[in-house]
Amino acid sequence: MSEVPQPPPEMPEMPYRGEYTERARRARLGWFRATTGAALRSLDATSIDARSLPGNLENFVGCVEVPVGLAGPMLFAGEHARGHVTAPLATTEGALVASAARGARAITRAGGVVTRAVGQRMVRAPFFEFAGLGEAAEFAHRITGHHAELAAEAARVSAHSRLVELDPVQLGRTVHVRFVYETADAGGQNMTTAATWRACRWILDRLCVPPGPSPTLFGVEGNLSGDKKFSHLNMTAGRGIRVIAECVLDPDTLRAVLKTTPEAMDRFYRIGVVAAQHAGMPGFDIDAANVIAAMFVATGQDIASVYESGAAQFSVDPDGAGLRATLVLPNLVAGTVGGGTGLPHQRDYLEALGCRGDAGARRFAEIVCGFALALDLSTLAAVASGQFADAHERLGRPRRVAWATRADLGAPLLQPLLAASLDAPDLAVTGVTWPEEAAGPSIITDLTAQGERRKLLGVLPVRASWEAGGRKGTLDLVLKVKPLDQEVIIEAAKLASLCGGRLAEVYPRWRDWTGFRDLHTRELAVYRSPDPALRRVLPRAYGVHEDPSRELYVLVMERLGPDVILKDTAEDPGLWEPGHVAAAVRGLAAVHAAWLGREADLLGSGLVGQCQTAARMAAMRELWHALLEHNRTEHPSLLDETAARRLRRVIDDIPVWWARIEAMPRTLVHGDFNPRNIALRAGDLSLVAYDWELATLHVPQRDLVDLLAYVLPGDAGEHEVAELVALHRQAVVAAGGAAPDAAVWREGFRLALWDFAVTRLQLYLMAHTHRELPFLRHVVPTVLRLLEIEDHAGEAVGVRSPA
């Protein structure tokens, strides 16, 4: 027996339809929550006044926020766009802004981009169907003689639209009439629809009357206009603004900025054109639509028009020793008045571009085309140099990993660790809250965040409430959730790949030997160590948690509060007074003393991970040279040719001086001992040193070099440096360390300085190419000053610096 169909349940009706008020918005939001079961908390607040939206949107409920990044500035020499322009790009596609910015830098370095908006058209194409071919042909013939009347009718609707052409196209017994308008600074889709409708009413009332042909069917749009669709007709005839951008890149710019050659760019371009022809692509470009979409979103354009606006013709040709690149956007449908361009954020971005007001649309089109050309060039260069594939490397995992969430880091994880640490077996964690405050900068966390963004990583402040034995309390903690070493290694290799040139070629060979191996386990081993010298300088640790199956490595420790000073002061070295520097030196000297000469113990402890050797350092000279040459080119204001020449000699002599390092007494060093990772207790100025993931085996002076590079000024005096080197040795001896004599100790400082200058400092500068590291503005001059001081000190005792 078949079931009797039941009537569908009554559809719940949306409230306040057609009303543009905050009351209506909130009512609709409540209705949306009730009918979907979703919390929708992000929609509670909105920066847009509902009353401003009639004509833009119906049934307003909230906003979607798209992040906006800045590319540029880029030098324009256009008819409407001139001077340096910075483009706002609204996107969530990683590397898009960076790639457009790189292309903009190359174009600007080579002299800028020439742009011209050569025409503007907006098309609407109504259709008229007749009983037979003859009537259709007669109508098509007659209508072109009434251009003046139809233009006058269209002008009654909008002063911005001007009918410039009538183009009847007969397809069987149907005539499509292309009404072609100029629309000034408006995109024009809506106004031309209204203008065309009025003109068509005139046609039907005045022209299609007996004895003339009369249509059996009429529509204001028959799809010949290609509205929001790609069409070959519009590629040639135009719909929107037709705009062209062109630049000439010299070989030096191609090598220095885009990390490729004119020959490679030309060859890869021509291979791509053949493939595009085979695939039947209309036109040819790389990824111009990325810039078009990003600028459309930022400035309130009709987003669906990206489909037709993205049709592009990109070409490159040899130009002398360099390369000429051209991009044509034949139908960029955009405007600077009307539609979404009047919304607050979108209006602000248009104003920043200088595109509000008269002639704004053509200036906007030239800017879009210029930055689209920049992105095409940068992406083509990335493919030609191999950077494109390298930049998309991901860590291969043999199985799916259930990564931790904040819920996993709450009471179940904290309770056993706190119970053991506080010697309270009955302790229960009764609540966990996550303060909103930032936990401070971390280069490694920022680096790995570029990779697997679904994984919870970083330093997370947390407040834990507990009960034990009738007592209650709270603890302010931080949970340091560590990335895998290979995640960091891969992301660093991506940076090298994006640098291109020789650096991109040699870095992969040595990427496992740049100091990042085992960093996810090293620091946990440090905090597990019972060594009293170590424990005196560490923040209080409440335990570590390791779960390799979930790639979860967590350190739970005290949250450093107002009882410490000088935390996160890497960008303000002036805060470090001589007494502060001396306290930091004495604090770490005790750790150096405890492990000095105990190399075998350290290598088996898990504290130092993979350690460098003189033989390997010598083999890696190709990498250190490649880093130096890249940084010399990219950062000439930090590394001039004199400094580069000195460092080249240091790198050349690595086999000699690194063998001396290997022969000296070595110890456990922090490996990143500077104001990004240390602070002092306010009461007694005792040292607090954290972030030990780069701990390694080295001469103890390596940590002193790191500290002085950050806290001394660029004009540090020789006597000041000599006193601090001597203080460090004295503190090691006072703590029971068997330090060598003063001359050998000073030599160890010099060798550690050379090591820092050609390895860690160069890696910092490579990262600085992609993410600004403000502390380098004073660290680099200080390191160069220390090199100069050590040259003089070495000469005074008959030690020759690399020459």
Query: Which residues are catalytically annotated?
Result: 93, 228, 302, 392
- At 403, which amino acid appears? W
C-alpha separations of 391 from 95, 454, 462 in Å: 9, 18, 34
Q: State how far the Cα of 303 lies from the Cα of 113, in Å rounded to an integer.
A: 26
Q: State how far the Cα of 352 lies from the Cα of 85, in Å rounded to an integer.
A: 9
Run of H or E residues at 295 = helix 288-299
Run of H or E residues at 197 = helix 189-202
C-alpha separations of 440 from 675, 686, 691, 720, 737 in Å: 12, 21, 12, 31, 34
Beta-strand pair 541-547/564-565: unpaired
SS3 258: coil
Q: What torsion do the CA atoms of 496, 497, 499, 501 make, to the nearest 10 degrees?
A: 110
Q: What are the E-state strand segments in 49-113?
A: 68-77, 82-90
List of residues 6+ apart from 67 with CB closer than 8 A: 90, 91, 92
The residues with which 322 forms a beta bridge, in sequence order, are 319
Beta-strand pair 82-90/68-77: antiparallel
Helix ranges (DSSP H) in 481-559? 485-499, 501-510, 519-528, 532-537
Task: Give the angle 361-362-367 at the CA atoms, nearest 5°.
Answer: 95
Task: Give the angle 226-228-229 at the CA atoms, nearest 5°.
Answer: 55
List of residues 6+ apart from 152 with CB closer than 8 A: none
The tokens describing 408, both together, are: 């996993």
Q: What torsion do the CA atoms of 270, 273, 279, 282 make, to the nearest 10 degrees?
A: 180
CB 564 within 8 A of CB 688: yes
Q: What are the E-state strand segments in 209-268?
A: 217-219, 240-249
Read off φ and ψ for residue 292, nearest 5 degrees.
Answer: -60, -50
Q: State how far the Cα of 684 lies from the Cα of 587, in Å rounded to an integer.
A: 11
- At 606, which amino acid appears? G
CB 434 within 8 A of CB 460: yes
Q: State how far the Cα of 697 lies from the Cα of 668, in Å rounded to an integer.
A: 5
CB 213 within 8 A of CB 136: yes
Positive/negative CA dihedral, 138, 140, 141, 143:
positive
The tokens describing 251, both together, are: 């070989």
Q: State how far the Cα of 314 lies from the Cα of 273, in Å rounded to an integer.
A: 10
CB 699 within 8 A of CB 665: yes
Beta-strand pair 678-681/322-332: unpaired
Q: How many CB atoms lie within 10 A of CB 515?
A: 22
The tokens describing 168, both together, are: 């009847």
The tokens describing 147, both together, are: 């251009």
Q: How many CB atoms lie within 10 A of CB 148?
A: 9
The tokens describing 196, both together, are: 């065309």
Distance of CA 705 to the CA centre of its chain: 31
The tokens describing 724, both together, are: 């601090």
The tokens describing 649, both together, are: 């000699």
| Residue 58, CA atoms < 13 Å, CB-side half-sphere | 4
Quick one: which of 551, 209, 282 has its CA closest to 395? Answer: 551
